[in-house]
Amino acid sequence: MNPVLQAIHSRRSTRAYRPEPLKAEELDTILEAGLYAPSACNGQPWHFTVVHDRTLLDHMSEVCRTGMAASGQDWMVSMAKNPEFHVFYRAPLAVVVSGLKDGLCPLVDTAAAIQNMLLAAESLGIGSCWLGLARFFFASPQEVRKLDIPEGYDPLYAVSLGYKAGPDAPAPARKGRPIRHLYAPKA
Ligand SMILES: Cc1cc2nc3c(=O)[nH]c(=O)nc-3n(C[C@H](O)[C@H](O)[C@H](O)COP(=O)(O)O)c2cc1C
């Protein structure tokens, strides 16, 4: 298997990290991979905020827990009640990925950038997790101000990054093969 396919097949969401920071070159390589994602009309409508501050990450996690506890969704409420739960899984850093409000397809384009970063991380043996639950922090403009995101961008997702605390389990089997080859229109 070539290295790209190898990374695609072996990547898993990492939910336990070693505390030490990533080497700066490794972090740069991962961020650069995000910048090379495709985007509608080459708009590159993204901005990455790399949060290294432990206190801020812990605070963000607590704000999310509060939001999750009040969400009314059972699975989120029970996650929030677990005292061990941390939205960033205590990774040494998280990248907040923001999209340009006036972009053509900021949500799709930032998703492509995130996937590039996850695969780049995996290719370097670094753990990552795409974090939608960070939206509970992004819901508060007052909290978001602490992230110093440039004007005109909305925070959409976060990605935790760090050295893996243990080996990943293999990816579970796919749920079928929802693929159809069409060589002629349906009659
Ligand atoms: C849009 C999106 C949001 C996600 N949000 C979270 C999250 O907040 N917390 C988390 O632990 N995993 C999150 N994940 C990771 C998924 O749970 C994970 O990709 C899925 O279970 C498949 O597992 P794998 O990544 O190990 O293959 C998210 C993934 C995506 C694509």
- Dihedrals φ, ψ of 144, to 5°? -60, -30
The two structure tokens encoding residue 64: 């999310």
Query: What residue segments make up the domains of the chain, in order of their start?
Result: 3-163
* 109 SS3 class: helix
CB–CB of 73/136 below 8 Å? no
**Mind listing the pLDDT tens digit of every residue in the chain (187 residues)?**
899 999 999 999 999 999 999 999 999 999 999 999 999 999 999 999 999 999 999 999 999 999 999 999 999 999 999 999 999 999 999 999 999 999 999 999 999 999 999 999 999 999 999 999 999 999 999 999 999 999 999 999 999 999 999 999 889 999 999 999 999 999 9
For a pocket test of ligand 1, which of 13, 78, 79, 110 has the largest count of ligand atoms closer than 8 A to its C-beta?
13
From the CB of 130, is ligand 1 less than 6 Å away?
A: yes
From the CB of 60, is ligand 1 less than 6 Å away?
A: no
Q: Which helix (H) or strand (E) holds 17?
A: none
Measure 44 CA to ligand 1 centroid, in angstroms.
23
Tell me which CATH code domain 3-163 carries: 3.40.109.10
Measure 130 CA to ligand 1 centroid, in angstroms.
5
Q: Is residue 166 exposed (0-12), middle (13-18) or buried (19+ Cβ within 10 Å)?
A: exposed
Edge-to-edge strands, sheet with 153-163? 46-51, 93-100, 153-163, 126-131
Residue nearest to atom 14 of ligand 1 (CA): 130
